[in-house]
Amino acid sequence: MKKLIIHQDLVNNEIAEKLMKICPFGSIEYKNGNLDINAGCKMCRLCVKKGPKGVIEFVEEQVTQVDKSAYRGITVYVDHVGGEIHPVTYELIGKAKELAAKVNYPVYCIFLGYQILDKAEELLHYGVDEVFVYDYKELEHFRIEPYTAAFEDFINNIKPSVILVGATTIGRSLAPRIAARFRTGLTADFTVLDIKENTDLIQIRPAFGGNIMAKIVTPNSRPQLATVRYKIMTAPARTEKTSGKITVCSMDVDKFKSNVDVIKVTKKEPEENISEAEIIVVAGRAIKTQKDMSLAYELAEVLGGNFAGTRPMVEAGWIDAKRQIGLSGRTVKPKLIITLGISGAVQFTAGMKSADYIFAINKDPKAAIFNVAHYGIIGDIYEVVPKLIENIKQVKGLTGELPKYAAPVSRN
């Protein structure tokens, strides 16, 4: 780690004035007889080279190298509610197997809960080498302290090199706590994952609003943690025969102490989830008015699918936030997705590019959406979509009934 050290005993008003004039970024401050360097510092070191000798010193600390050979295996956290395993777990198992094959690692699962031993058997149908089960009454409901304690016990005993966690409500709470406890890196919501021969995990995700793709590596810490959204990866096929084994883990229950007591659990009403839809019609900026959203509703209706939108549609109050697709919305992986007047910004395409078939309609032939689409029509959606709806109706023998989707009330 590189840093600048100020020797305050050598600082006076005259020296401070010189150093502040030297800094081109205005990051050197002098207050109450104390010289300080703020967050604007670009580490150009002009203050060291041209400033009074010895006042500011550049130091490059020796980075402690981790013994990578002491860590082995890729672990998937089993996300579940009451033993019902979330599908993102199987998707992560698929990615874990792919990475493990490159570095000859085993694939592990860690399953935390109560009366879950029979549910752990299902994981062995997906090619996992070993499932580590922590089955305790104290782990029946998710509480951050007991779950972290069990995870810590697992890491200390097994020492996995990589841990993959689903970006669910629970996963997003648990992964940062684990990373902080082991002072290791954590990449949230990665979109691409690979591994080097030296077992360093390569994590790629959009950054700075999707304007760049950041490649993140944590070469000097283990384990390496990353969270991934549902529908980003592909789950392996379930096999009839099981492989691997289940290991029941034991630990001191006193470590499960928590400041939270679960008094009552109330299940919320099931709601429609566009992440599960097989056909989705997505409306973009080209929709001029809220009334014109009927184009998307009717196309979704005749196809027997669902509808969604981009962030501007949500901000305008034209669709519910739960129907937004993209980095700040939902990730989907339908069999077919049709985009209406969407330019194809990285923030949006990151949430839908894994669809089996992408069909784009846009009047701009240079729109970025055509770079990811399998099929496309260059044209005005106000001309193309009505004809498309009519053709689909003719093929399906439908009449012109109204779509089932009611337009949401605008907030404006």
Structure-token pair, residue 239: 């096999």
Best CA proximity match to 148, nearest among 222, 256, 73? 256
Which domains, and CATH codes, for the chain? 2-60 (3.30.70.20), 68-256 (3.40.50.620), 274-396 (3.40.50.1220)
Residues 6+ apart with CB under 8 A from 186: 175, 176, 178, 179, 225, 226, 227
Identify the pLDDT of residue 382. 95
Helix pair 381-396, 294-303: axis angle to 10 deg: 30
**pLDDT value, residue 61:** 73
Residue with tokens 């997505």: 282
Which residue has tokens 């006193």? 254
pLDDT of residue 297: 94
pLDDT in tens, the chain (412 residues): 678 999 999 999 999 999 999 999 999 999 988 999 998 898 999 999 999 999 999 988 776 789 999 999 999 999 999 899 999 999 999 999 999 999 999 999 999 999 999 999 999 999 999 999 999 999 999 999 999 999 999 999 999 999 999 999 999 999 999 999 999 989 998 889 999 999 999 999 887 766 778 899 999 999 999 999 999 999 999 999 999 999 999 999 999 999 999 999 898 887 788 988 999 999 999 999 999 999 999 999 999 999 999 999 999 999 999 999 998 889 999 999 999 999 998 889 988 999 999 999 999 999 999 999 999 999 999 999 999 999 999 888 765 454 454 444 333 3
Give CA–CA dist 371/357, Å, rounded.
Answer: 13
Among 290, 272, 277, 282, which residue's Cα sits nearest to residue 311? 282
Please tell me the pTM assigned to this model: 0.81
